[in-house]
Amino acid sequence: MVETRTAYESLLTRVEKPGRYLGNERGMVHKDPASVQLRFALAFPDVYEIAQSHPGLQILYDLLNRRSDVYAERVYAPWFDMEAELRRAGLPLATLETLTPLRDLDVVGFTLQYELTYTNLLAMLELGGIPLHAAARGAADPLVIAGGPCAFNPEPIADFLDAVVLGDGEHVIHDICNTLIAWDGRERSALLAALAGIRGIYVPAFFEPRYGPHGKLVEIRPLRTGYERVEKQIVADLNTVPVQQTYVVPTLQIVHDRPSLEVMRGCVKGCRFCQAGYIYRPLRERDPRRVLEQAEEAVRQTGHDEVSLLSLSTGDYSCVNPLLTELMNRLAPQKVAVSLPSTRVDALAPSLLEQIKRVRKTGFTLAPEAGSQRMRDIIQKEYQEAELIAAAQQIFSLGWRSLKLYFMLGLPSETEADLMGIVDLSAKVAAAGSFRKEVIASVSSFVPKPHTPFQWAPQIPIAEIESRQRLLRRELGKGRIKFRWHDARLSFLEGIVSRGDRRVGALLLQAYQLGCRFDGWNEVCRFDLWEQALRDTGISADFYLRRRTLDEVLPWDHLSSGVNKTFLQRELARAFERTLTPDCSIERCTYCGACDFTTVRNVDYHLTGAKGSEHRGEVIDHWASDIVPDSDTAGAWEPRGWHKVQAKQGGEQPVGTSTPLLDATSVGAARPPAETARGLGNAEEWLSAGGEALAPVVDTVGPPQTRIRLTYTKLGRARFIGNLELTTLFYRAARRAGLPLAFSQGHHPLPRFAFGPALPVGVESVCELVDIDLVEPLGAEDVRRALGAQLPEGMEITAAGAIPLGGPSISARIAAIRYRVDVRQHINGDGGAGMRRRIDAFVESADFPLRKRVKGTERIVNARPYVAGLQLLEAATIEAMILHGAAGTLKLTDLLGAILELDEREARALPVRKVATVFGNELSLSDAASAAAV
Ligand code: SF4
């Protein structure tokens, strides 16, 4: 094991962010692999910073590791540099926890959040030593499964997966584990058959797609009797999921660097483009008391200074206001902020904003989605323009200086007037901030998603997206509104895969083999290789981006999200009638099919009468029947609105051609009255209800009373922790330790810590220094003990002492640093004589030109005055004393690389250890003179 770790760690000096592969985070689960019956790799096909941000994965990690018979480990996609290093070294992709190659685990379970991570999934399988095709795997190979939103159309990757989980994973994951443990390990087909018996498990091998003469899917033929359709798994009551016990606290800075607490799952607002709004139905809120309990536990365990209340639209959580008030009362004194990552416009209320800004003005994003009222009606966005402007005014008046507006272009039937609506609306928001605030219009491109009313809609081609982007850029620029857009090429690729069938697997494989990785990252996406893969496989992008007819067999027709196809067709009809559909959690059931009303139904927590709950789910009203005939017969009807669009466009378009911008009046001349009457207990009224309960936070944190100086080590894997991460690591450790920290002033108060000079990543140290200010006179030994217990492996506090508050900083006092470097690897057959000569020559020289990098620029400096001592010791160790002065210092690996004539990779891999920090008063007279010269 030690040898394996050494082999992997030797790669880390050569990659951009070694922290991605360290696996030494606080909260990481350690188990003896020999003591469990099942080893489960939780895999995420993206880099650590994104993967570790995904809360669903953390929940599964916690749930699985509570079991004594299962060990869940994590594995994420290696970045290009790490993949190259693994291949060069002949090492397989392995788990973070135990460095076990993927091929040696029992299950590899991928979370699929985004279609453009599929080439990474293939790379992970191959690097992990697992046959890519499910059909090629034997009894000894791991089971490869996948879940997440993309699993609702897994056909493009069906050939590479043994099984797919549809729906909520918290309960079914145990069924999967139990099935694997019970399996005799002989016939893989027997295992797949057993898995197919579990609700929510789709085994692609048990279905066979058939295609017609024009290439369209005509049937997805079930190959096993009684296994014709797969229903999703659902956790009917989120409170039955145990509160998370263990939290992995990343050392590396990640995208969402805070605990995310899920307050509810599902959304019944019915935005017609939103896949999550359909596949996660019905609405299930978590008991606010459990959310509170979990928030406090998360802060206590992680030391984070922010928690996030997660859901598809947290402003719609019934208890959002009382919950926020209580949360802030408990967390604000600790300077812990609460953020709401996504908020619908009409769910905002002044009281809600007041709460959020109490600790910190986190960035504010609103999602108007569409600029014109016509388009808002089509996509089912209930808010009116005046509500958005009022919300923007409120946001700016409360002190936010920047507001991001999130829109989509390319929505079905979009006209130029709709696009200009984006410009107008953004301008009105900017005016709400008196044009002194920053307004950013972030515009993504519509990609039709399976299981939504717009699943039949066409996706506009790249050239059309880019032309609409140009129009927006020009028009928004006139109003000095910042424009952000999504790369049209990525939307194009996403569109092919998201509604793709099993044949798209060949395209993915070819793109992977050509070298495509991280296709969702526009800076590294190799679109040229994708174009080549399309040519090589003969796959037509137009075929997958085209409008689908209502009678067409869709690749995901055999997979049920709970919402029936008739409902989606009705919604499509209502879209083009510009008719809104009521929120069934406030008004009445609209019969989408997601509830059975015995075990599964909308669940919410609200004050009596706050929402119209009494009829919810009790009365099934076929209100939509008068819009279209109630028929499931494929092709029996088409929505009238769609016909209108087609008529206006002059008939059906040929496949793959652009959807022309329509005249603004072409669909529905007059807006019908909204059906969503604001009845008693409307969410917005409810949000405002708690306003009086707000009390200003009493700032209990006073000025610093004590300063403690700590000396600590940074050894082993801890040497790869970067300086930025180190700061965060200390902040969080101090919070967990409960130290009475002093904070800086300003919008973003931070604990008052002062670190010594930055240590290069990869260099070990036994003498790092940090000063910590406290608001209470705590003893140095108490601080050492409390904080030391919170630091990771390799970081130990070796000394602690109180120092005067007004004294000089660590950096101001340091005059030199002493290092030792093990150079055994570079001693030739001469016993080190050659190396000694080179060192002696350096010491005797007056001038030694060295390339020095300063803030991204390179210049040549004379290295000699920076070096107070350099010698080769008997034990093949170089000892060096490098001076610090006003002109800075030298990087020892650069210096030794130049003296010993090593290439850059060899120099960076030198095992350097900092052994002493020398303060000015400890230098010899001659060294002090040199230091002064530096
Ligand atoms: S079945 Fe009715 S109550 Fe349940 S989510 Fe669908 S529309 Fe809402």
Residue type, 821: V
3-state secondary structure of 50: helix
Query: At residue 615, does pLDDT exceed 50?
Result: no
3-state secondary structure of 778: coil
Residue type, 48: Y
For residue range 150-191, what is the model confidence (pLDDT) as tens digits? 999 999 999 999 999 999 999 999 999 999 999 999 999 999
Tell me the average pLDDT across 718-729. 92
Q: In what order do the strands lie in the sheet with 260-262?
A: 260-262, 306-310, 337-339
Rounded distance between C-alpha atoms, residue 331 and residue 299, angstroms: 9
For ligand 1, the distance from its centroid to the CA atom of residue 594, given in whole angstroms, is 6
For ligand 1, the distance from its centroid to the CA atom of residue 451, given in whole angstroms, is 15
For ligand 1, the distance from its centroid to the CA atom of residue 560, given in whole angstroms, is 15
Query: At residue 362, does pLDDT exceed 60?
Result: no
With cut-offs at 50, 70 and 90, classify the pLDDT of residue 556. Answer: very high
With cut-offs at 50, 70 and 90, classify the pLDDT of residue 777. Answer: confident
For ligand 1, the distance from its centroid to the CA atom of residue 378, given in whole angstroms, is 20
**Closest ligand 1 atom to 600 CA:** 4
For ligand 1, the distance from its centroid to the CA atom of residue 385, given in whole angstroms, is 28
**Closest ligand 1 atom to 616 CA:** 3
| Residue of 268, 380, 587, 604 to mutate, ligand 1, most atoms within 8 A of C-beta | 268
Query: At residue 195, does pLDDT exceed 70?
Result: yes
| Residue of 278, 281, 616 to mutate, ligand 1, most atoms within 8 A of C-beta | 281
For residue range 618-631, what is the model confidence (pLDDT) as tens digits? 322 333 333 333 33
For residue range 822-873, what is the model confidence (pLDDT) as tens digits? 999 888 778 888 899 999 999 999 999 998 877 678 888 899 999 999 999 8
State percent of the chain over pLDDT 70: 85
**Closest ligand 1 atom to 282 CA:** 5
What's the distance, CA 251 to chain centroid?
Answer: 15
Query: At residue 494, does pLDDT exceed 60?
Result: yes
Cα angle vertex 398, ends 396, 402, to 5°?
35
Rounded distance between C-alpha atoms, residue 472 and residue 403, angstroms: 18
For ligand 1, the distance from its centroid to the CA atom of residue 282, given in whole angstroms, is 6
501-515, 634-648, 801-815, range with the lowest pLDDT? 634-648
Rounded distance between C-alpha atoms, residue 495 and residue 452, angstroms: 14
**Closest ligand 1 atom to 584 CA:** 8
Kindly report the pTM of this predicted structure: 0.85
| Residue of 590, 615, 620 to mutate, ligand 1, most atoms within 8 A of C-beta | 590
CB 282 within 8 A of CB 234: no
For ligand 1, the distance from its centroid to the CA atom of residue 593, given in whole angstroms, is 6
Tell me the average pLDDT across 679-706. 42
Length of the chain: 934
Tell me the average pLDDT across 699-725. 88
With cut-offs at 50, 70 and 90, classify the pLDDT of residue 921. Answer: low
CB 314 within 8 A of CB 320: yes
pLDDT value of position 652: 35
pLDDT value of position 270: 93
Closest CA to 182 of 193, 168, 171: 193
pLDDT value of position 437: 83
Angle at which helix 416-432 crosses helix 462-478, to 10 degrees, equals 30
For ligand 1, the distance from its centroid to the CA atom of residue 230, given in whole angstroms, is 20
With cut-offs at 50, 70 and 90, classify the pLDDT of residue 932. Answer: low
| Residue of 280, 283, 570, 602 to mutate, ligand 1, most atoms within 8 A of C-beta | 602
Which residues lie across from 628 on neighbouring strands? none
Tell the residue nearest (CA) to atom 3 of ligand 1.
589
Closest CA to 95 of 193, 224, 4: 4
Residues with CB under 6 A from ligand 1: 268, 281-282, 584, 589-595, 602, 617
Residue type, 111: T
**Closest ligand 1 atom to 617 CA:** 3
Tell the residue nearest (CA) to atom 2 of ligand 1.
589
For ligand 1, the distance from its centroid to the CA atom of residue 592, given in whole angstroms, is 5
- From residue 155, alpha-carbon distances to 163, 214, 231 in Å are 11, 19, 16
- From residue 495, alpha-carbon distances to 146, 489, 563 in Å are 20, 10, 22
CB 288 within 8 A of CB 325: no
Rounded distance between C-alpha atoms, residue 96 and residue 93, angstroms: 10
Tell me the average pLDDT across 104-128. 98
| Residue of 280, 316, 584, 611 to mutate, ligand 1, most atoms within 8 A of C-beta | 584
**Closest ligand 1 atom to 563 CA:** 6
pLDDT value of position 924: 63
For residue range 277-328, what is the model confidence (pLDDT) as tens digits? 999 999 999 988 899 999 999 999 999 888 888 888 887 888 887 888 888 8
pLDDT value of position 649: 40
Tell me the average pLDDT across 688-697. 30
Per-position b or e across 70-101, b if 16+ CB within 10 A of its CB: bbbbbbbbbbeebbebbeeeebbbbbbbbbbb
CB 378 within 8 A of CB 575: yes
Tell me the average pLDDT across 56-60. 95
**Closest ligand 1 atom to 620 CA:** 2
For residue range 223-240, what is the model confidence (pLDDT) as tens digits? 999 999 999 999 999 999
Q: Does 788 or 678 have the greater pLDDT score?
A: 788
390-404, 413-427, 624-638, range with the lowest pLDDT? 624-638
pLDDT value of position 406: 93
Phi, psi of 164 (to 5 degrees): -130, 140
**Closest ligand 1 atom to 592 CA:** 6
